Amino acid sequence: MPTRPVTVRPGRMTDVTGTPARTSPAPALIRAADVDALVVGVSLLGSGGGGDAVTFAGVLRRRLGDGEIALISPDDLPDALTGGHVVPIGVVGAINVLTEKLPSGREFRDAVAAVTRWTGRRADALMAWEAGGLNGLSGLVAALDLGLPFVDADLMGRALPRLDQFTWAVRGRPLTPCALAEPSGPILVVDSAEGADGAAGANATGLERTARSFVASAGGWAALALCPTEIGEATRDTVTGSLTRALALGRAHATLDQAPAPEAVADALDARVLATGRIVDVVREGMGRGFRRGSLAVVDTASGAVLRLEAENEFLLAILDGELTASCPDLLCVLDRRTAVPRAVERLRVGDEVMAVVLPGPEWWWQDEAIDHVSPSAFGLDAPAVRTAVAGTPVVHTGGPR
């Protein structure tokens, strides 16, 4: 099915509504030439996980063609969107399967159609519910597919493995009704996911269970479109500007030389280098809670310091010489030593020369009631969240359960 790229230009909308042009900076525009930078950026937000964005990069590049798409800031909405409804969208399931079972191209359209039909609300714009990894790109692909504007707000600000780690879920907002569309055709609308007890967080957990059994019985992944929500209401509890940040990170990364010095990488990405050296050990514990658990160790070539990274899909915890140094929700990333390209947890092997860095994570999560959902203890690791101060010493967050 042919799709027409939709370009949302603030200038044109100004013309439509007749209001004067805004004074705030113009929203970032994504063109085909920006896709590579965006892939690096969303991979950094993926923190070693979130799925391989490269899979969607080709799709995005084709959809963009010669056109462009704007990353509309919720703080700077064009009037045409004010009062409109936005649908958070993304891909759930075993996202690594995507490389084996390719999208048919209808999943996003089907999911959005199902959830709008069920709720009787229009979708005026799309947003991503996850900004790290391939979902950083899938929302843009969906927006181009459906010809809808894209709002740069999301429910994670990075990659996270579970639906109860949506900012909405943390705020107690239901994720239903929503729709799941599976590449081989079946579409599932979930109207409610609470159990009989209606316990807090039960909605997200219930949806997680439902989604999981759906994708497991089908192709391994599905597009998930949440309920169309009034934009102001929708973006109230979200992380904003994640893709703008990803683009900026990717562009800064592109300025790096071949085989850059760790300090240069830290400067460009506003990151802190944890260790630069060889991977000496990789432990994979198989499937814990349905996710791949693992750990890897890097010995810093210069200092001999031992860095250990604990991972569950994403990197969760950094232990430097036995001391907790950084953790989720900050962005722990392992970069190729030579190219500084972010590498996925499951691709790393003993003997690889790497550079481990930490970038500040989304500010939204460092709120007392939110941090417990993404601190290492939320993943079963017996450690508090450790906040990275890029210049200075890490801060152990005391808001954790322990």
Binding site for another protein (CB under 8 A): 280-281, 283, 285, 295, 297, 299, 304-306, 308, 310, 317, 319, 321-324, 381-382
In the complex, what is the shortest distance from the CB of residue 274 to another protein, in angstroms, rounded to a whole number? 14
In the complex, what is the shortest distance from the CB of residue 297 to another protein, in angstroms, rounded to a whole number? 3
Nearest to another protein of 187, 319 (CB atom):
319
User: Which residues have C-beta within 8 Å of that of residue 155, sequence separation ≥ 6?
Assistant: 88, 129, 130, 166, 167, 168, 238, 239
CA–CA distance, 281 with 349 (Å, rounded to integer): 8
Nearest to another protein of 302, 391 (CB atom):
302
Nearest to another protein of 252, 299 (CB atom):
299
In the complex, what is the shortest distance from the CB of residue 175 to another protein, in angstroms, rounded to a whole number? 32
In the complex, what is the shortest distance from the CB of residue 287 to another protein, in angstroms, rounded to a whole number? 15
Closest among 334, 332, 298, 304 to 317, alpha carbons compared: 332
In the complex, what is the shortest distance from the CB of residue 324 to another protein, in angstroms, rounded to a whole number? 7
In the complex, what is the shortest distance from the CB of residue 305 to another protein, in angstroms, rounded to a whole number? 7
Query: What 3 state SS string does 271-322 have?
Result: CEEEEEEEEEEEEEEEEECCEEEEEEEEEECCCCCEEEEEEECEEEEEEECC
Nearest to another protein of 172, 401 (CB atom):
401
Asked if residue 341 lies in contact with residue 48, where contact means CB atoms within 8 angstroms, the answer is no
CA–CA distance, 142 with 76 (Å, rounded to integer): 22
Nearest to another protein of 273, 381 (CB atom):
381
Residue 332 pairs with which residues in a beta bridge?
A: 358
Q: CB 201: neighbour CB atoms within 10 A?
A: 13
Nearest to another protein of 15, 321 (CB atom):
321
